[in-house]
């Protein structure tokens, strides 16, 4: 699916959304999972009819940060798929500051 018109213009009729505000942050095993919304969602009523992005930060190897951004996780996954050389014994530390 091509969304650009030339180098940086968006094709007519398309509207891009991107995460702007962090909603929640969780630590799951060796990952930091961030849920982010494309608009202000501080109030409960502002959370209605708002998409939510899942950003996963992980470390496939020492000194490398992997980032996966997901939207519509339950939909059919058609790729693209890239093989990652992931080491199993990477130590990850997550600090709250």
Query: Are 76 and 86 within 8 A, CB to CB?
Result: no
* Rounded Cα–Cα distance for residues 70 and 84 (Å): 17
What predicted TM-score, i.e. pTM, was given to this entire model? 0.76
* Rounded Cα–Cα distance for residues 96 and 90 (Å): 20
What's the Rg (C-alpha) of the chain? 17
Q: pLDDT tens, 65-90?
A: 999 998 877 777 777 788 888 888 88
Domain ranges of the chain: 18-70
Q: pLDDT tens, 4-44?
A: 667 777 888 888 888 999 999 999 888 899 999 999 988 88
């Amino acid at each position: 699916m091509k969304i650009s018109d030339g180098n940086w213009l968006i094709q007519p009729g398309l509207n891009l959304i991107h995460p702007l505000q962090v909603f929640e942050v969780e630590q799951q095993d060796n990952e930091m999972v961030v849920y982010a919304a494309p608009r202000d969602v501080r109030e409960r009523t502002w959370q209605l009819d708002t998409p939510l992005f899942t950003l996963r930060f992980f470390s496939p190897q020492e000194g490398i940060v992997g980032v996966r951004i997901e939207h519509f996780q339950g939909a059919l996954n058609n790729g693209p798929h890239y093989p990652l050389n992931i080491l199993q014994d990477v130590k990850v530390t997550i600090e709250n500051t």
